[in-house]
């Protein structure tokens, strides 16, 4: 579905990403991992056309630069790491914006089926009860689910997530990952996400890329990529040893 070839991003003389290539097929959940400053979020910025890049990104054989923004949004949707809520929009209004790409040209912005899609997205994310609530009054988990609901309403083929459970409580972390896991099951869909938590990458990913300072260290099956062999040099520590140490506190309980 998605093909990235020789992707490079620089800010001035600083190379953030260098020569990244990968493909994404339907049904795949690609996990991008790596330490701080590896360029993980920059991959997503390039995909969302939020920064200049060299190389080529193509979607179903067509360069994404050649798509109009609203057509691209029908195929590719993004969840950013932070949500900037300043005004008291209602949850339903935020979710309904997800339909923009499908009814951009409708004078009053309401193509057939929009309402159903919005209600469906609200109920999928368990937000039906909160639909009329102001986004300023939501907890971090509810806010994150609101923007996931917006993505579901947008109904793209590929969703791209930047640290989707950053700073969320464990219960929400589990909810969010299960929501995505359910979403991906429908035909023709795929997910790319940046994750900090290496265990989550192994648990949910079907493919993984390990980045370090803008370059690919390893790519392939999550169990192989997210493994001692590659992680220890990249993080300069005994990663799995530390993970086991953390987990061992539970066995003592």
Partner 1 sequence: MPSSTVIRGGGFRPAAYGAMLLGTAFVFIISVCLGSVSVPLRDVFASVAAALSGEKQLLTGHSDIILSVRIPRVLCVALTGASLSLCGAAMQGILRNPLADGSTLGVSGGASLGAVLAISFGSRLPFFGGGGVVVTAIVFAFMSLAVILGLSHKLDRSLSTNTIILTGIVYSMFVSSIISLVIAFAGDKVKTITFWTMGSLANTDYLNVLTILTALLLCASLILMRSRELNAFALGEDNARSVGVNVKRVKLELLIAVSILIGVCVSIGGTIGFVGLVSPHMTRMLTGPNHKRLLSASMFFGACFLMLADLLSRTIVRPMELPVGVVTSFIGAVAFVFIFKKSGRVG
Q: By CB under 8 A, tell whether 133 contacts partner 1.
A: no
Q: Of the two residues 83 and 213, which places its CB atom closer to partner 1 in the complex?
A: 83
Q: By CB under 8 A, tell whether 150 contacts partner 1.
A: yes
Residues in contact with partner 1, counted by CB under 8 A, come to a total of 46
Q: Which of 15, 27, 56, 93 binds partner 1 (CB under 8 A)?
A: 93
Q: By CB under 8 A, tell whether 121 contacts partner 1.
A: no
Distance CA 114, CA 120 (A): 10
Q: Of the two residues 150 and 227, which places its CB atom closer to partner 1 in the complex?
A: 150
Enumerate residues 49-68 that contact partner 1 by CB under 8 A. Answer: 49-50, 68
Q: Of the two residues 106 and 237, which places its CB atom closer to partner 1 in the complex?
A: 106
Distance of closest approach, residue 76 Cβ to partner 1, in angstroms: 9
Enumerate residues 194-253 that contact partner 1 by CB under 8 A. Answer: none
Using CB under 8 A, which of the segments 12-20, 96-104, 210-218, 244-252 binds partner 1? Answer: 96-104
Q: By CB under 8 A, tell whether 119 contacts partner 1.
A: yes
Q: By CB under 8 A, tell whether 108 contacts partner 1.
A: yes
Distance of closest approach, residue 171 Cβ to partner 1, in angstroms: 25
Phi–psi pair at 221, nearest 5 degrees:
-60, 135
In contact, 164 and 44? CB cutoff 8 Å: no
Distance of closest approach, residue 150 Cβ to partner 1, in angstroms: 7
**Residue-by-residue DSSP string for the chain:** -EEEEEEEEEETTEEEEEEEEEEE-TT-EEEEE-STTSSHHHHHHHHTT-S--EEEEEETTEEGGGS-HHHHHHHEEEE-SS----S--BHHHHHHGGGGGGSTTSTTS--TTHHHHHHHHHHHTT-GGGTTSBGGG--HHHHHHHHHHHHHHH--SEEEEESTTTT--HHHHHHHHHHHHHHTTSTT-EEEEE-S-HHHHHHH-SEEEEEETTEEEEEE-HHHHSSHHHHHHHHTS-HHHHHHHHHHHHHH-
Q: By CB under 8 A, tell whether 164 contacts partner 1.
A: no
Q: By CB under 8 A, tell whether 85 contacts partner 1.
A: yes
Q: Of the two residues 68 and 244, which places its CB atom closer to partner 1 in the complex?
A: 68
Using CB under 8 A, which of the segments 53-61, 108-116, 178-186, 200-208 binds partner 1? Answer: 108-116
Distance of closest approach, residue 32 Cβ to partner 1, in angstroms: 18
Distance CA 175, CA 165 (A): 9
Using CB under 8 A, which of the segments 34-42, 91-99, 219-227, 238-246 binds partner 1? Answer: 91-99
Distance CA 77, CA 155 (A): 8
């Amino acid at each position: 579905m998605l093909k990235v070839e020789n992707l490079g991003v620089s800010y001035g003389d600083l190379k953030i990403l260098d020569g990244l290539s990968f493909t994404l097929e339907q049904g795949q959940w690609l996990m991008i991992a790596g330490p701080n400053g590896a360029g993980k979020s920059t991959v997503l910025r390039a995909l969302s056309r939020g920064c200049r890049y060299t190389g080529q990104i193509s979607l179903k054989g067509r360069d994404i630069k050649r798509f109009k923004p609203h057509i691209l949004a029908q195929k590719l949707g993004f969840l950013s790491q932070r949500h900037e809520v300043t005004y008291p929009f209602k949850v339903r209004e935020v979710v309904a914006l997800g339909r923009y790409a499908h009814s951009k040209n409708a004078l009053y912005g309401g193509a057939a089926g929009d309402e159903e899609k919005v209600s469906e997205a609200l109920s999928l994310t368990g937000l039906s009860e909160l639909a009329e609530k102001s986004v300023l009054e939501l907890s971090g988990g509810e806010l994150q689910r609101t923007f996931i609901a917006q993505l579901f309403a947008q109904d793209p083929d590929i969703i791209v997530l930047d640290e989707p459970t950053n700073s969320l409580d464990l219960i929400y972390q589990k909810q969010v990952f299960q929501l995505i896991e359910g979403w991906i099951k429908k035909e023709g869909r795929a997910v790319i996400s940046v994750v900090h938590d290496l265990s989550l990458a192994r648990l949910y990913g079907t493919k993984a890329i390990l980045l370090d300072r803008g370059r690919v260290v390893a790519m392939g099956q999550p169990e192989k990529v997210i493994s001692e062999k590659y992680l220890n040099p990249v993080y300069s520590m005994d990663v799995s040893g530390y993970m086991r140490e953390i987990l061992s506190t539970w066995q003592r309980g």
